[in-house]
Amino acid sequence: MIVFAIDALEYTMVEEFNCTNLKQKFFGKTNITEFSQPRTMVLWSSFMTGKNMEKQILAMGDKEMWNTRIDMKDTFFKRFKDPKIIDLPGFNYVKEQHEQERVLLKSYFDVKTDEEKNKIRASYNNLAFEHHRRVKQEFSDALKAGHDFVLGYFSVADVIGHLNFGNRAMMKMIYKDLDEIAGTLKDSFIVLSDHGMEKIGIFGDHSNYGFWSTDFKDLGNPKITDFAGMIK
Amino acid sequence: MNEEKLKFVIVGHVDHGKSTLIGRLLYDTNSLPEGKIEEIKQLCESLGKDLEFGYVMDHLEDERDQGITIDTAQTFFGTAKRDYVIIDAPGHVEFVKNMISGASQAEAAVLIVDAEEGVKEQTKRHAYILGMLGLSQVIAVINKMDLVDFDRNRFEAVKKDLLDFLSNINIKPSYVIPISAKNGDFIASKSGTMDWYKGPALLEALDTFRTRENANQNPLRFVVQDVYSFDKRIIAGRVESGIIRKGDRIKVLPTGEETRVKSVEEYLRKVTEAEAGKSIGIVTEDKLFIDRGNVIVSDGDMPAVTKRIKANVFWMDRAPFKKGESLTFRCATQEVNCEIEKISRVINSSTLELIAEDADEIKNREVATIIIRTDKPVVVENFNKMEELGRFVLGREDTCAGGIITELE
């Protein structure tokens, strides 16, 4: 089983760019209305445990929540003999990478001049793309290594989207790249996003639903916590 | 920029490389804003890929949305011979609608087919539309030759399939060219990848096409918009084609009465003639009964004056047409009542499936071949001969269909 986990994959963009590989046979929106806000750490933690983790994660505070490391035994991954999880928030993601992104994002909004902003945007985008290329390679290697479960978490649509969602051409290239990755998957897979993204001028903010797709079953309007019981 | 422009459209299956070809044409003719290709190249590299020309149009569209540079509904580039306009056809429904309503008329078409995938249903549908619209200047390009190792046998097989289909719908492409839009083979110039192909590259082939004849050289068609009586009686209208001169012998249609041009009147200017595209007034030597909707012509090549017209129409109203309903027929400034006498064929404009023959109704977005009977004679022409009098709309309170005249009786 493969889970192609994509942060902030927006349902309407998948449709607009006609990403047929990402859509597979059945696709739709996930229902995340049980959560007060579409927060990345809360949603992925809830996904892997099959429980609404909002209260526990928020109790850790804004800063500390990014250090969340849920134990394998508390996730559905334990059902597999040789699972490979790549960079998943709340489980094993590369903290330094995401921290650097957050620092750059904050400084983008702190600086005043366009020149400074453009410079930071370029560094931020480079950092995100570089990470994306690494994850892509790691995912591709994992798929060849004979694991009985592979989950690859791709943050590029979210990270780039926050500063560039209004740049349609750039977002299209990212969605098409993700679609190409989905096109290389030979075994049965689930595409899942924690939330989508909506345009705010040139920027992007989380939208209140996620995306799912499979080629074996119409899941309707599932909750993100439903997948833990479903994936065997 | 040259005066002469050739408008063309690129059609074909959605995945066969239309965007890549447009990007490549703009790049190879140095028609992109400075730095644009570097920007796209950098983004492709960021994603670990080679440069993809298919994203050029997306980037230009983004700039248009931000009001920066280019209008991509019509994309321009030039060769040493002349300038070209690629008319954007996001889907074939829009293409048919634009062609029929006169929003944008292509004079030529490039039909693109993937060398690996070959002729698909959508290829056939688009080719069918070209036939329906009477586009005769067609180039077929067999794209993605790089994916089939520039193999001549594969090219010949796809070419044969394509020509077999096209011959059924009376389209004979002027050229069938093997290309790789991605690599730039046989787009702007020949390359060494396909020595077995001896024909022209795409741009060389386009350069051999003719533009729509300069409207001044066509016979006179002066469409009357209104008649004003001041100290003299001025017949106001627009010269759709030809040139009208003081002293010319003219005929007023549909009545057929004849007279001469006493003077040509242009606001704040003293003139003795007016060419195609001008809105002017004329004064005639004899006082004839002339009214809005009349068409003034010179002797020679005459339009038809008829009450019966065969046409292709594109229905654009949510409310379907049902046989027996009376509609308004508008062509240039002519406006008369009409009925649709026969609906010979109805086609789904999206799938191009035949819906019905000898039908009783036409629904939204359907294309139909019909025979119209007007209650008074109208002055019209075959669309392919003179589009200004070959194009019409049908109306209720608002316009509900656009059409082109294919045959006159």
Q: How far apart are CA A113 and CA B98, in angstroms?
A: 45
CB of A199 within 8 Å of a chain B CB? The answer is: no
Block mean pLDDT (10 aa), chain B, length 409: 75 89 95 91 93 89 56 74 83 67 75 96 82 82 98 98 89 96 95 95 95 79 92 91 94 94 91 90 93 91 93 89 95 94 89 89 92 96 84 87 84
Of A126, A167, A177, the CB nearest to B62: A167
Q: How far apart are CA B309 and CA B405, in angstroms?
A: 7
Q: Do A169 and B48 touch (CB under 8 A)?
A: no
Q: Please report the pLDDT score of residue B135 as a whole number.
A: 77
Place of tokens 């796209």: B40
Q: Please report the pLDDT score of residue A126 as a whole number.
A: 95
pLDDT at A74 over 80: yes
Domains of chain B and CATH, by start: 5-207 (3.40.50.300), 215-298 (2.40.30.10), 304-408 (2.40.30.10)
Place of tokens 């649709």: B340
Residues on chain A touching B55 (C-beta within 8 angstroms): 169, 172-173
| Residue-by-residue DSSP string for B40-87 | HHHHHHHTT----GGGHHHHHHHHHHTTSS--TTEEEEE-SS-EEEEE
For chain A, the structural domain boundaries read: 2-230
Percent of chain B with pLDDT over 90: 59
Count Cβ–Cβ pairs < 8 Å, chain A vs chain B: 31
CB of B38 within 8 Å of a chain A CB? The answer is: no
Please answer whether residues A8 and A177 qualify as being in contact, where contact means their C-beta atoms are separated by less than 8 angstroms: no
| Residue-by-residue DSSP string for chain A | -EEEEETT--HHHHHHTT-HHHH-SEEEEEE-TTSSS--HHHHHHHHHHTS--HHHHHHT-TTGGGG----GGGSGGGGSSSEEEES-TTTT--HHHHHHHHHHHHHHHH--SHHHHHHHHHHHHHHHHHHHHHHHHHHHHHHHTT-SEEEEEE-HHHHHHHHHTT-HHHHHHHHHHHHHHHHH--S-EEEE-S-EEEEETTEEEEESEEEEEESS----S-BGGGHHHH--
The dotted CATH code for A2-230 is 3.40.720.10
Write the pLDDT tens digit of every residue in B311-355: 988 888 899 999 999 999 999 899 999 999 999 999 887 677 899
Residues on chain A touching B46 (C-beta within 8 angstroms): 125-126, 129, 132-133
Residues on chain B touching A170 (C-beta within 8 angstroms): 43
Q: Do B46 and A125 touch (CB under 8 A)?
A: yes
Q: Please report the pLDDT score of residue B388 as a whole number.
A: 80
Check: complex ipTM more than 0.90? no
Residue A100 CA, chain-centre distance (Å), reads 17
Q: Please report the pLDDT score of residue B97 as a whole number.
A: 67
Q: Do A170 and B43 touch (CB under 8 A)?
A: yes
Q: How far apart are CA A68 and CA B312, in angstroms?
A: 66
Tell me the sheet residues that pair with B297.
B221, B251
Of A126, A169, A177, the CB nearest to B47: A177
Please answer whether residues B22 and B86 qualify as being in contact, where contact means their C-beta atoms are separated by less than 8 angstroms: yes
CB of A126 within 8 Å of a chain B CB? The answer is: yes
pLDDT class of A140 with cuts at 50, 70, 90 = very high
Residue B33 corresponds to which tokens in the numbers above? 């804003």
CA distance B17 to chain A (A): 15
Q: How far apart are CA B292 and CA B23, in angstroms?
A: 46
Angle, alpha carbons B45-B47-B48 (nearest 5°): 60
Question: Average pLDDT, whole number, for chain A?
Answer: 95
- Number of residues written out for chain A: 232
State the average pLDDT over residues A78-100.
94
Q: How far apart are CA B99 and CA B35, in angstroms?
A: 34
Write the pLDDT tens digit of every residue in A167-194: 999 999 999 999 999 999 988 999 999 9
